[in-house]
């Protein structure tokens, strides 16, 4: 297990939620933002919400996105879909070979009545891989409900992982498995990341139409 991990754009809902769980397993969890002050405020808010949890106080580190990329070999991109590609472009010169970048971006948009997949020519993860050909890119975490994760409750869920190499999957699976009772499942190559990124739309629409609260995915085998 690596000792540190970085969240690029980690001040939003899913970034903060993942940080809560990563802090239990990693010695340093860097929460990045374009504004270091915003990152600092996010860490302070998480600590206020969990005053009794020493791991939170000791392991969360606020930084700029640039500093996070330079400090960590393993990174998770948790910015909104609309900002994902531009964020990576701005940081592209700071990445180094053998780094791992997991995109947790949900490539969805709101139509008149429902959420739909963005349906671009390339998925966010594929676009990132084109921008950063020397690093390992994967897609994961899109189907985990941030409010439940942030609350600290255990969640019995599966996370699909798309990436091009099995050794990359092994690295991602170790990170996914650091969240108790969350199971990684290898979906296939990065080409399948488009399907994974769009799953959030199905969950959000099901929540609205069927009155489900914080739905997630669990794959059963019979």
CATH 3.40.50.720 for domain 4-210, yes or no, is yes
SS3 106: coil
According to DSSP, residue 192 is labeled G
Number of neighbouring beta carbons within 10 Å of residue 210: 8
Task: Kindly list the distances between the CA atom of residue 39 and the CA atoms of 17, 36, 104, 171, in Å, as whole numbers in the listed order.
Answer: 14, 5, 18, 26
Backbone angles phi, psi at 13, to 5 degrees: -60, -50
Q: CA 203 to CA 150: how far, in whole Å?
A: 18
Query: Do 108 and 72 form a contact (C-beta atoms < 8 A)?
Result: no
* DSSP letters for 141-152: -TTS-HHHHHHT
**What does the pLDDT profile of the chain (222 residues) look like in tens digits?**
669 999 999 999 999 999 999 999 999 999 999 999 999 999 999 999 999 999 999 999 999 999 999 999 999 999 999 999 999 999 999 999 989 999 999 988 888 789 888 878 899 999 999 999 999 999 999 999 999 999 988 899 999 999 999 999 999 999 999 999 999 999 999 999 999 998 999 999 999 899 999 999 999 999
Torsion 73-63-157-50 (CA) sign: positive
Q: CA 157 to CA 128: how far, in whole Å?
A: 26
Q: Alpha-carbon dihedral of residues 150, 156, 161, 166, nearest 10 degrees?
A: 120
Contacts of 151 (CB under 8 A, 6+ apart): none
Query: Do 30 and 61 form a contact (C-beta atoms < 8 A)?
Result: yes
- What local confidence, expressed as pLDDT, does residue 153 receive? 86
* Domain residue ranges of the chain, discontinuous segments joined by +: 4-210
Give me the helices (H) in the chain, please.
13-22, 36-49, 54-59, 65-71, 81-91, 124-131, 146-151, 166-176, 193-210
The pTM of the full predicted model, rounded to 2 decimals, is 0.95
Give me the helices (H) in 23-80, please.
36-49, 54-59, 65-71
């Amino acid at each position: 297990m690596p000792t540190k991990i970085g969240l690029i754009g980690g001040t939003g809902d899913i970034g903060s939620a993942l940080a809560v769980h990563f802090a239990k397993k990693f010695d340093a969890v860097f929460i990045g933002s374009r504004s270091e002050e915003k990152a600092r405020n996010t860490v302070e808010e998480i600590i206020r919400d969990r005053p009794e949890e020493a791991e939170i106080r000791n392991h969360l580190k606020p930084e700029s996105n640039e500093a996070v990329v330079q400090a960590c070999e393993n990174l998770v991109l948790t910015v909104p879909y609309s900002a994902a590609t531009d964020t990576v472009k701005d940081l592209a010169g700071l990445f180094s070979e053998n780094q791992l970048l997991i995109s947790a971006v949900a490539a969805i948009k709101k139509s008149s009545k429902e959420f739909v997949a963005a349906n671009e020519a390339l998925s966010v993860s594929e676009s990132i891989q084109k921008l950063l050909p020397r690093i390992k890119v994967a897609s994961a975490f899109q189907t985990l409900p941030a409010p439940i994760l942030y609350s600290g409750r255990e969640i019995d869920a599966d996370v699909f992982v798309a990436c091009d190499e099995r050794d990359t999957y092994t690295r991602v699976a170790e990170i996914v498995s650091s969240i108790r009772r969350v199971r990684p499942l290898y979906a296939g190559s990065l080409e399948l990341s488009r399907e994974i990124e769009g799953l959030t739309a199905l969950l959000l629409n099901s929540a609205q139409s069927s009155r489900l609260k914080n739905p997630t995915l669990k794959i059963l085998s019979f």
